[in-house]
Structure 1
Amino acid sequence: MADPAPDPAVAARRERLRRAAELLGDLEPSGTRDDTDQGWGESPGGNDAELRRNVPPHHG
């Protein structure tokens, strides 16, 4: 059994989308710098120890 002939409008739209993807590439990045901790000035181990050392006297 042979496949039916594709609808010309569907085939034209599919071709336009294929060409647009080929020319423009992926327009939405998979991730941005804001999605990571990189560049936020955090040290790899964190600063919990420093915060515990620098507790004001009234915090006991």
Structure 2
Amino acid sequence: MTTPPEQDRPETAAERRARLARVFGDVLPETTQDERDPGVRRDDDSDPGDEWLRSQVPPHHGG
């Protein structure tokens, strides 16, 4: 029995990320919030639920 060519060499990091994204979906961002500039928002970061939650914070909680 022969092995497929993909198994002859180690998997690269990009191939591993692509394989995991195919299996589990791409649910995690590339960077976390603490790694980004606080004033910069990216389109893929926006979540309507987060926006709603922020609007519900009382003023005395620093909202």
TM-score, with structure 1 as normaliser: 0.30
Larger proportion of helix? 2
TM-score, with structure 2 as normaliser: 0.29
